[in-house]
A and B are shown apart, each in its own frame.
Chain A
Amino acid sequence: MKNHYDEPDFVDVVPGSAGNTRGQIETEIRELCLEQPFAVLATQGEGQPYTNLISYAFSADLRHLVFSTPSQTRKYNLITKNKKISLLIDNRAQQPESINLIRAVTITGLARPLADPEEIDQWAGLLIKRHSYLDKFIKSPSSSLILVDIIRIFYVRRFQEVYQWVPGKPS
């Protein structure tokens, strides 16, 4: 319902400038997830939430994420008991000046330690490619690779604008 009187085109909004078409949002989520190196991992045990910083790598379709942890850590133990996890990835380090330029995703998913050598090979390769300096840590027999199947991604930008995206879900 556009009224031609009140809205001279040039001072009205530029089409597409809100940047909230499906394509624009998905691109922004993809960029953030693939460019950031670190995430906050939230696990839980005995009703107690517990968070860690991890180095991660995403699969290209954003349906899986992989990270590595020594198997005696608290987070490893918690995951083996409860696979429901959440992750936070954000670019606040690049945007300390403006809260409106900070972007973040909150991810929900299911985490499991990988056991199958073929799977381990494939995912370790992806993680080492993203964090080559961690190759020793990742390949260490005391480390375990954790694969997360992503269920949902909540994307936050401009302080309070929120979208939810289910990667790989057919339109």
Chain B
Amino acid sequence: MGTRQTFIVPLADAYDYPAELLGNKARNLSLCIKEGFHVPAGFSISSEGYQAYTRYNNLQQRIDLELYRKPFNSMRWEEIWDVALRIRSFFSKGIMPAALEKEIMSYVSRWPSGTKFAVRSSTAAEDSAAASFAGMHESYLNITSDKLIETVKLVWASLWSDRSLLYREEKKLDSRYSAMPVLVQAMEPSTISGLAFSADPSSGQEDVIILEVISGSLDLLVDNIEEPERIKLAKDSGRIFNTAGERKATLMAKNALETLWLKILALEKIFGQPVDIEWTGIEEAFTVLQVRPITGLNSKDDDERTWYLSLTPDKNSLLALTEKVEKDLIPKLIEEVKLFGSEEAFSNDNCLFLDRLEKRGQSYNRWKKIYHDDFIPFAHGIRNFATYYNDLIKPDDPYEFIVLLKTDNLLAQERNKHLKRLGQMLYENRNLQDRVSHFLTGQDRPNSKIFLEEIKTETSEGAIFAAAFEQLLTEQMDLYYENVSLADDPSSLLQAVLALAEGSLKGDEQPKDLSVYKKLKETYLEKAGHKHQNEALNWLRIGRLSWKLRDDDNILLGKLENQLYLYLKEALFRLLKAGLLKDMPEQVTLDNWPVVLESLQKQLEYSPPVPEAPVQEEKTKALKPRQLVGHPSSRGIVTGKARVIHSVADFKNVVAGEILVFDAVQPQITFIIPLAAGIVERRGGMLVHSSIIARELKIPAVNGVSRATELIETGDLLTLNGDLGLVVIGEPEFELEQAGLQLK
């Protein structure tokens, strides 16, 4: 081999090495040491160490296969999270090359046993003047030497976290050539810690210094556990500004504040621009933990990124959110759904009707916002739990954690059980089954409501069935979904019930296997150990709640939307009757409720918005997909005819045993899944609703197939490979070649 690689560099020497090798965090601190500042002693594991590890475990090729199987921009965040989860699993299960491990551990042995370390990322891209990467990569504190190697692997893996992948994409940095040096430093005791900015990062003002101070160690501040004291200093004099809302400094003595002020000035001078400093100390003895140029002065991060970051909240904000969602929001939502449902039929009193329409509209707006602000971030609790679980257990299957999350009381499951009972009724009564079958296959079938009335009067079994079916419609199918109310079209539901009776439906979603659940939970708590028992239980609680919520909220909101839908439809009828509307529009657009309300209130003419026609690519026989790539979301291989589902109206044409092709499947419509021999979905992710059910029912599924509903046509012969995530269209044939030969 060529020249010897540099794996380990003492922190004091790091400044003499290029940023590509040791990263900016280490170099900046090394410069501080050279300039006489106190910095906790430590060493760097170079990017060559990272490369040795990834080479030894073939990680670059594995990452390549995972990350680039689809163009990055065509992946949803959920798919990106999945990719990151798998990559993290590769890293934590990899083997550290013996030479590298020996070098790291022999350096660590310079400290007395029992020393705790901080293990932090230090890449060439982060902490540079161009991009901060603040909070993107992982850092771990208080790590004992026996856990050091495992921790270094996790810091390396965070180079490929969903957050840093998205950040690099946004900054147009090429992930392919990334490598991660790591900084290891001995922890030091501290009584006071904080952040310092030698310019105001929010206003861009450069003649002030902003301090955030807490008592204790810095992680309490960085993890938002403790609210810091904020102090603003004049840069030239070090005097405190006593502006409104700024408290006086109480945590720092005057002398200490002055020492800190001078050190900040000195650091800004050394780096030649405003800096952002993490510091800690005991009284007046200050230690520099990190220095970096302040990036993006005078520029604001856009809201979308802030929102995305809130999707991976830290444990404390998640706990608070859990309380809020469980104890406040969901009960309120259920109450509101109940209240609206209990209100009698549309009032003839126009004022009362308008009032109720408005209430439903406002409720819709309010819950839509809560969904975005609270429910979606809370649903990410699953991911936090998954990470915690995988770090603890290191399972072979990175989705093993799902076993611990499943509950038997999802609203969608209740509905599916109800459907199953109806299927059982038909199965046990052949005559009734034939009657339903005849109705559904009949050419000029009457309205299904009339049909139900008919069978009610025919036999007592018919009456029981019809009543139970109507109960399903009013109690569980009062859902708005994609411009229709599911209760509006009972025949597709009847179709599903009939298929159940004919035995073509797969069984129930399997009830939770209690013994597997118990065993996994025991192992989980055992691994967490006595000390972390509460932490482990808390994560489990968050995970389970968010699992239930991400299903139920769609159903509950669907019910709420249904209320608005029914009122809007009635309002449109009233406008039509009053001659203020030409024709009933094909679609009822919920977001348009304020305009409808106003038209009816003021008796104004109303013209509904014209729905945008979907842009359809010109179909061509010259170019056809032969094999499409997605994610393997439920194992198994199956061949069958494709049924492309463009809207709920397509449900009634579904024949059991077809491969259903969806754009996206929400919990409102998962009852159709058991009819399918296989599922293809454009929306990708291992945790999307259809895939979870498909895995339970052992139906092969591939999701994340870009433009699936456009590229596949109903009737196409599909072969689904749920092991590799492939959809093959058509048979391998040489018909064209044979025909071509005859022509020549």
Q: With the chains together, A151 CA to B74 CA distance in Å?
A: 32
| Interface segment out of the listed B243-251, B381-389, B620-628 | B620-628
Q: Is residue A55 within 8 Å, beta carbon to beta carbon, of the partner chain?
A: no
Does any Cβ of B come within 8 Å of A162's Cβ?
A: yes
Provide the A130-156 mask, 1 if CB < 8 A to any CB of B, else 0: 000000000000000000010110100
A20 interface hit (Cβ, 8 Å): yes
Do the beta carbons of B740 and A151 come within 8 Å of each other? yes
B70 touches A99 (CB 8 A): no
Stretch in B140-148, B194-202, B661-669 touching the partner: B661-669
The residue of chain B having its C-beta at the shortest distance from the C-beta of A12 within the complex is B76
Bound CA–CA A18/B368 (angstroms):
29
Q: Knowing A1-B663, A84-B741, A110-B744 touch, does A18 contact B74 (C-beta < 8 A)? A: yes
CB–CB A22/B706 < 8 A: no
B307 contacts the other chain (Cβ, under 8 Å)?
A: yes
**In the complex, what distance in Å separates the CA atom of A169 from the CA atom of B736?**
12
The reply on A101 being an interface residue by CB < 8 A is: yes
Complex CA gap A100/B60 in Å reads 12
Q: Which residues of B contact A164 (CB under 8 A)?
A: 623-626
A100-B76 contact in complex given A25-B623, A163-B625, C-beta closer than 8 Å: no
Could you give, for residues 716-744 of chain B, a 1 whenever the CB lies within 8 Å of some chain A CB and a 0 otherwise? 00000000101000000010110011001
Query: In the bound complex, what is the Cα–Cα distance between A1 and B726 (angstroms)?
Result: 22
Complex interface: chain B residues within 8 A of A10 (CB): 304, 308
Residue of B nearest to A112 (CB): B744
Distance (whole angstroms) from the CB of B618 to the closest CB of chain A: 6
Complex contacts, B176 vs chain A, CB 8 Å: 97-98
List of B residues within 8 angstroms of A38 by Cβ = none
The answer to whether A162 and B77 touch (CB under 8 A), given A11-B308, A84-B737, A152-B737, is no
- Residues of chain B in range 164-200 having any CB-CB distance to chain A below 8 Å: 166, 176
Residue tally, chain A, CB below 8 Å to B: 47
Q: Is B646 an interface residue (CB 8 A)?
A: yes
Residues of B contacting A159 in the complex (Cβ-Cβ under 8 angstroms):
65, 69, 629
- The residue in chain B whose Cβ has the minimal distance to the Cβ of A166 is B622
B interface, over-half SS: mixed
Q: Which residues on A sit within 8 Å (CB–CB) of B65?
A: 99-100, 159
Decide: B622 and A108 in contact? CB cutoff 8 A.
no
Expressed in whole angstroms, the Cα–Cα distance for A74 and B376 within the complex equals 66
The answer, yes or no, to whether B711 is at the interface (CB within 8 Å) is yes
Confirm or deny: B372 has a beta carbon within 8 angstroms of a beta carbon on chain A. yes
Judging by beta carbons under 8 Å apart, are B737 and A20 in contact?
A: no
| List of B residues within 8 angstroms of A11 by Cβ | 76-77, 166, 304, 308
In angstroms, Cα B482 to Cα A154, docked, is 37
How far is B73's CA from A100's CA once the two chains are assembled, in angstroms? 15
Pair B68/A18 contact, Cβ less than 8 Å: no
B residues less than 8 Å from A101 (CB atoms): 68
Which of A20, A97, A149, A160 is B726 in contact with, Cβ under 8 Å?
A160
**A157 CB → nearest B CB, Å:** 9
Residue of A98, A99, A165 with most chain B CB atoms under a 10 A cut-off: A98
Q: Are A2 and B624 in contact (CB under 8 A)?
A: no
> What separation, in Å, do the CA atoms of A5 and B689 have in the docked complex?
14
**Closest chain B residue, CB of each to CB of A161:** B629
Interface contacts (Cβ under 8 Å), in number, total: 144
A21 in the interface (beta carbon within 8 A): yes
User: Which residues of chain B from 608 to 640 have a CB within 8 Å of any chain A CB?
Assistant: 617-629
A8/B707 in contact, CB under 8 A: no
- A165-B69 contact, Cβ under 8 Å, with A18-B74, A98-B176, A160-B726: no
Would you call B554 an interface residue if the criterion is a C-beta within 8 Å of the partner chain's C-beta atoms?
yes
If over half of A's interface residues share one DSSP class (helix, strand or loop), that class is named, otherwise mixed; here it is: loop
Known: A165-B623, A171-B622. A13 touches B482 (CB 8 A): no
- Which residues from chain B contact A154 at a C-beta distance below 8 Å? 626
Q: Is A14 an interface residue (CB 8 A)?
A: yes
Interface residues of B in 654-709 (CB under 8 A from A): 662-664, 666, 683, 706-707
Q: Which residue on B lies nearest to A5, using beta carbons?
A: B371
The answer, yes or no, to whether B275 is at the interface (CB within 8 Å) is: no
Question: Does A118 belong to the interface (CB within 8 Å)?
Answer: no
Q: Is the CB of A3 within 8 A of B68?
A: no
| Contact status of A171 and B621, CB under 8 A, knowing A1-B664, A8-B307, A100-B69 | yes
CA distance A6 to B681 in the complex (A): 15
A149 contacts which chain B residues (CB < 8 A)?
740, 744
By a CB distance below 8 angstroms, the chain A residues around B741 are 83-84, 110
Residues of A within 8 A of B647 (CB): 1
- List, in ascending order, chain A residues with CB within 8 A of B442's CB: none
Report A1-46 residues with CB < 8 Å from chain B CB.
Answer: 1-3, 5-8, 10-14, 17-22, 25-26
A14-B73 contact given A5-B371, A22-B618, A170-B622, CB 8 Å threshold? yes
CA A56 – CA B223 in complex, angstroms? 63
Q: Do B75 and A20 have beta carbons less than 8 Å apart?
A: no
CB pair A161 B628 closer than 8 Å: yes
| 13 A/B residue pairs, CB under 8 Å, sorted by A | A7-B76, A8-B372, A8-B376, A11-B77, A11-B166, A13-B73, A13-B76, A21-B617, A149-B740, A151-B737, A161-B629, A171-B618, A171-B621
| New A-B pairs, 18, CB < 8 Å, besides A160-B726, A166-B623 | A1-B646, A1-B648, A3-B664, A7-B664, A8-B307, A8-B376, A10-B304, A11-B77, A11-B166, A12-B76, A13-B73, A13-B76, A17-B72, A98-B64, A99-B61, A99-B65, A164-B624, A166-B622
